[in-house]
Every structure is written in structure tokens, then in C-alpha cells.
């Protein structure tokens, strides 16, 4: 059972509809007591990093997520939810994130080193470049094109957390993770076959962990 975290800034129903199509058991809740019963957490997000962290910190949801992940519960962050997994963001002033993965969220500069300007946000279909094909999220993908909409990207010196990247005038972390923590910068629920396969892989991963723990 996957608990979708409702903190007022997530595209909840599109994610919920995708999980319904995949027949993955789930529920949406803003209550920590209910989310504590879930086998895994899904953290969506649309909007500004600072506002999102304010919402998560307001009722202790941020610390709850950190504690649940620390106790071994899988977590999947989507779009802004992925960015929140990292240490900090420069958006609208420096703001601490959940600190579950190493790195900082910065704005696309909109200009390359040789002076070429480019459009921000990074919007539309782009190809993932798989960095760690053994990741449970990236198994058996039939296509690698996914749908991005973002003006900020993660920068990290720890390449071990980069499961897949994309190229948009510079390297863009597309799928990140470590252990039972995962994130996707793009919207899986809007990414046709590849996105649905990634969501199904997360559901399968959670189910396998539950079976292993039951043995």
C-alpha cells in the first residue's frame, strides 16, 4: 500500500489515476497517523521549493517523512517532490530541503558557457540516459522518453545518486536514488509508457520488500 502525501502542493489526482490504472493499492492523506500505516510513501509536488518546505514543516510532515525513511520505508518523490529530497534549494532564497540525498537545487542559467541562450523552463519530451540500469525503477523499460516541466535542476557532486540523466544544454538529473529513496524530475504520470513502467516498477519494488520482510 502506497501513501500519497497530501501537503497542499501536489498534483495528487493525476498520480492517483495512474496508480489506479496500474492497479497499485494506494491512498491519499494529509495525516501522519494514516501515512504511517503505508508500506511506502509517494511525495508529489508542483510549485516553489520554499513554499513546499514551509507546508511540510508546518505540521511536522517533513520530520515525519525523514523518520519514516530512516526506519526503512521506501519513498518516491516526483518533480518538485524529487527536488525536496535534496539538501537545499536556491529558489527564492536558500531553503533547506529534506536532506535525504546530497545536492543543491539551482535554476537553469539559460545560457551556455559559449554564450548560447536557451529556453527556460525545460519543457516537453526528452530522452533519459540510463546511468544505473540495475536500479529497480529502471527495469524493462520499453521506451526512454519522458515529459519534463521544470525551471530548476539538481546539482550534486555524488554521481552515485544519478540513476538516469537527460541532456538539456547541460546534464539534468532525471531519476535519482539511493537505497530505498527514489525521485523523478519528470512527471511519470504524464510520460506515457515509460512513466507508467517506472510507477509500476516502484509498486513492484514495494511489494517485493513486503514479501521479503514477511519471510
Q: Could you give the residue numbers annotated as active site? A: 79, 187, 189
Listing DSSP states for 174-205 in one string gives: EEEEETTEEEESS-GGGSHHHHHHHHHHHHHH
CA nearest neighbour of 152 among 214, 107, 189? 107
Grid coordinates in use for 139? Answer: 527495469
The beta strands (E) that lie in 68-185 are given as 75-78, 86-89, 95-96, 101-107, 122-127, 129-130, 145-150, 152-155, 162-167, 171-178, 181-184
Length of the chain as a residue count: 215
46 vs 11: CA distance, rounded Å: 6
Report the alpha-carbon distance of residue 196 to residue 178 in Å, rounded: 21
Nearest-CA neighbor of 163 among 201, 114, 203? 201
How many other CB atoms sit within 10 Å of the CB of residue 63? 13
Query: Residues 78, 83, 84, 85: is their CA dihedral positive or negative?
Result: positive
Q: And the C-alpha cell for 168?
A: 538539456
Amino acid at each position: 500500500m502506497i501513501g500519497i502525501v497530501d501537503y497542499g502542493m501536489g498534483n495528487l489526482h493525476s498520480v492517483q489515476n495512474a496508480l489506479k490504472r496500474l492497479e497499485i493499492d494506494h491512498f491519499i492523506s494529509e495525516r501522519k497517523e494514516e501515512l504511517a500505516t503505508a508500506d511506502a510513501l509517494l511525495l508529489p509536488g508542483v510549485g516553489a521549493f520554499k513554499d513546499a518546505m514551509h507546508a511540510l514543516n508546518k505540521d511536522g510532515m517533513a520530520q515525519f517523512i525523514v523518520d519514516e525513511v530512516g526506519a526503512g520505508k521506501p519513498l518516491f518523490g516526483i518533480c518538485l517532490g524529487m527536488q525536496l529530497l535534496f539538501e537545499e534549494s536556491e529558489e527564492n532564497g536558500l531553503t533547506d530541503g529534506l536532506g535525504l540525498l546530497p545536492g543543491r537545487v539551482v535554476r537553469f542559467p539559460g545560457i551556455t558557457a559559449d554564450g548560447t541562450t536557451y529556453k527556460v523552463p525545460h519543457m516537453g519530451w526528452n530522452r533519459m540516459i540510463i546511468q544505473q540500469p540495475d536500479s529497480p525503477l529502471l527495469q524493462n523499460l520499453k521506451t526512454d522518453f519522458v515529459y519534463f516541466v521544470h525551471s530548476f535542476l539538481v546539482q550534486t557532486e555524488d554521481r552515485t545518486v544519478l540513476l538516469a540523466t537527460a541532456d538539456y544544454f547541460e546534464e539534468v538529473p532525471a531519476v535519482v536514488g539511493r537505497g530505498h529513496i527514489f525521485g523523478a524530475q519528470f512527471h511519470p504520470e504524464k510520460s506515457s509508457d515509460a512513466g507508467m513502467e517506472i510507477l509500476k516498477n516502484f509498486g513492484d519494488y514495494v511489494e517485493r520488500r513486503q514479501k521479503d520482510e514477511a519471510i
